[in-house]
Amino acid sequence: MNCLHICNDLLGSKVHENLYKSLKELEINQVIYHPLRKHSVDSINKLNPDSIGEVITSKVLHPLHRVFFTRKINFLYEDLQSKVDVKSFDIVHATTLFSDGALALKIFKEYKIPYIIAVRGTDINVFLKYRFDLLPLGKEILLNAKHVIFISDSLKNNFVRSGFKLSKPFITKKQIIIPNGLDSYWLNNVVTNRKKAKPKKFLYIGNFSYNKNVLRLVKAFLILSEKYENLTLNLVGKGGAEEEKIKDLALNNPEKIHFHGPIYDKIELQKIYLSNDIFAMVSIGETFGLVYVEALTQGLPILYTENQGIDGTFKEKVGVSANPKSINSIMVGMETLINNYPQFETETIDFSKFLWNDIAKTYLKLYSSILNERMY
């Protein structure tokens, strides 16, 4: 089986790299086509083709390609055809509906190679919100896709509630929910003896972009800290437009807010998790949010965004959701976690559905079923 992956965000997330590595271990012949932007040119050499398969990058995209979408797709299609024998592939796997799916659709139209697409947060929060001109193209991509993958229940529900309501009949029979996998370190070091004492320490791990919404989280925490004594908020990470404002708040509240900077070593990260009581991240938009699952493996209940990310993923009572645009809602969510701490269930969660090897096998079965249909 020869699979062509089209992946815009190969360098922006470890999720894709981990999936491709697991698929390669299942002996799938795969080529990964990565549209290249100027800022990522130096980072491409960090990838290891021996572990994930052959990586082919495009010519560097022009900044105007962000505006002129059709021109970008045509540019990439010509580039791809000049670098690989497109007709040699059995299946195409596009990691987004619009940016990658549009390229998969062009391949399908010319070569009749079946494709699957995944819907991600960017598709809903950017393209469906601001690129109404691309809605007909999006529907055509969905109509011709063999399967439509959603990373979470909340993402699927948001998609159906979005401007693509009319496309629901096209995808009802095609849609499949397949979560992202978790690094094996966390699955091999699950903590099942969570402390039940009244919590005092909140933790955030990530960047400080507007989307991660940490400024509202900090402001909500500071309001709550006036009501409860000895509360602390630990912030781990770096980068993003709100970082300096958040650092200033930490400097002005040294007893309450501790800014740790980035921590990459998993053993050190685990120590941070285990020294805190609650994980809090209330992003504006979230495709999935594996850091939530990391926190749950370490016994921390979570504060998460309502109708986003992992909302609806667990049957267990793992935490509380909040409206990301309301400081009061975030504060109330934090308070609910404090006052009901013993009720949250992290010890009984079955984390096996986040094994990358099993997820890769699910994709392999999907690919195989599509190819079997093609033969008959």
348-370 pLDDT, tens per residue? 899 999 999 999 999 999 999 99
- Kindly report, residue by residue over 226-254, the tens digit of the pLDDT: 999 999 999 999 999 999 999 999 999 99
pLDDT band at residue 309 using 50, 70 and 90 as cut-offs: confident
How many whole angstroms separate alpha carbon 189 and alpha carbon 344?
A: 20
pLDDT band at residue 39 using 50, 70 and 90 as cut-offs: low
Looking at residue 138, the DSSP 8-state letter turns out to be H
Given the structure tokens 């309501």, which residue do they identify?
165
pLDDT band at residue 192 using 50, 70 and 90 as cut-offs: confident
Phi and psi at residue 149, to the nearest 5°: -95, 130
How many whole angstroms separate alpha carbon 280 and alpha carbon 89?
A: 43
How many whole angstroms separate alpha carbon 206 and alpha carbon 281?
A: 9
Dihedral of the alpha carbons of 342, 277, 312, 178, in degrees to the nearest 10: -130
Given the structure tokens 């300096």, which residue do they identify?
244
Q: Which of 62-76, 138-152, 272-286, 290-304 has the lowest mean pLDDT?
A: 62-76
- pLDDT score of 109 more than 90: yes
- pLDDT score of 47 more than 80: no
- Kindly report, residue by residue over 87-104, the tens digit of the pLDDT: 999 999 999 999 999 999
Given the structure tokens 């409860």, which residue do they identify?
228
Q: What number of other Cβ atoms are within 10 A of residue 290's Cβ?
A: 22
How many whole angstroms separate alpha carbon 164 and alpha carbon 96?
A: 15
Q: Strands, DSSP E only, in 96-200?
A: 115-119, 147-150, 175-177
Q: Find, among 221, 216, 219, the residue nearest to 202 by Cα.
A: 221
User: Which residues, 6 or more positions from 73, have their beta carbon under 8 angstroms from its beta carbon?
Assistant: 102, 103, 106
Lookup: tokens for 181 = 């996998």
pLDDT at 169: 62
How many whole angstroms separate alpha carbon 6 and alpha carbon 105?
A: 11
Mean pLDDT across 5-23? 89
Q: Find, among 8, 220, 36, 239, the residue nearest to 103 by Cα.
A: 8
How many whole angstroms separate alpha carbon 313 and alpha carbon 97?
A: 22
- Helix ranges (DSSP H) in 26-100: 49-52, 69-83
Q: Are 123 and 154 in contact (CB under 8 A)?
A: no
DSSP 209-259: -TTTTHHHHHHHHHHHHTTSTT-EEEEE---STTHHHHHHHHHH-TTTEEE
Q: Mark residue 93 as left, alpha or beta (left: phi above 0; alpha: psi -120 to 50; beta: remaining).
A: beta
pLDDT at 161: 77
pLDDT at 312: 86
- Amino acid at site 96: T
Please indicate whether residue 156 or residue 241 has the higher confidence score (pLDDT): 241
